[in-house]
Amino acid sequence: MRSPWPRGLPAKVLRRRAASFGHAFRGVGAALRSELHLRFHALATAAALGLGWYCRLARLEWALVALAVAGVWTAELVNTAVEALTDLASPSYHPLAGRAKDVAAGAVLLAALGALVVGGLVFGPHLLP
């Protein structure tokens, strides 16, 4: 059967996809190196995974923990990107630059509070007598 793709296109598309994944992982690595908060999240994630394994969480509980962890990481990475862009666009003081950073930090705070609630509701019944 003839390929529906012009010759060589799938390889090119795959190479581009692979490069995009590479850029994304490089972004996570760069943020991990520059942001102390992210290293703390990495530790907290490892602790949550270990505790989940210890508590033998059910599949749905793992799903909730995974969503909570991913939410915090996503918010922190977007916050890091907003901080970098704000510093680039407005190295000197500007109220809008401050608002952008404060709002981005607010997203991290909300994600972290949500993760705390999920953690309490999921792990609480396993750990409390």
Does residue number 97 form part of the binding site for ligand ATP (CB under 6 A)? yes
Catalytic residue ranges = 76
- Of 13-21, 60-68, 90-98, 114-122, the window that binds ligand ATP (rule: CB under 6 A) is 90-98
CB-side neighbour CA atoms (13 Å) of 38: 19
By beta-carbon proximity to ligand ATP, the closer residue of 9 and 96 is 96
Q: Copy the structure tokens of residue 57.
A: 């969480």
Return all residues near 45 (Cβ < 8 A) that are at least 6 apart: 69, 73
Q: Going by C-beta distance under 8 Å and a sequence separation of 6 or more, which residues neighbour residue 102?
A: none
98 binds ligand ATP (CB under 6 A): yes
Is residue 3 classed as helix, strand or coil in its secondary structure? coil
Tell whether residue 1 is a contact of ligand ATP (CB under 6 A).
Answer: no
Q: What is the closest distance, in whole angstroms, from the C-beta atom of residue 78 to ligand ATP in the complex?
A: 12
Binding site for ligand ATP (CB under 6 A): 35, 37, 83, 90, 93-94, 97-98, 101-102, 105
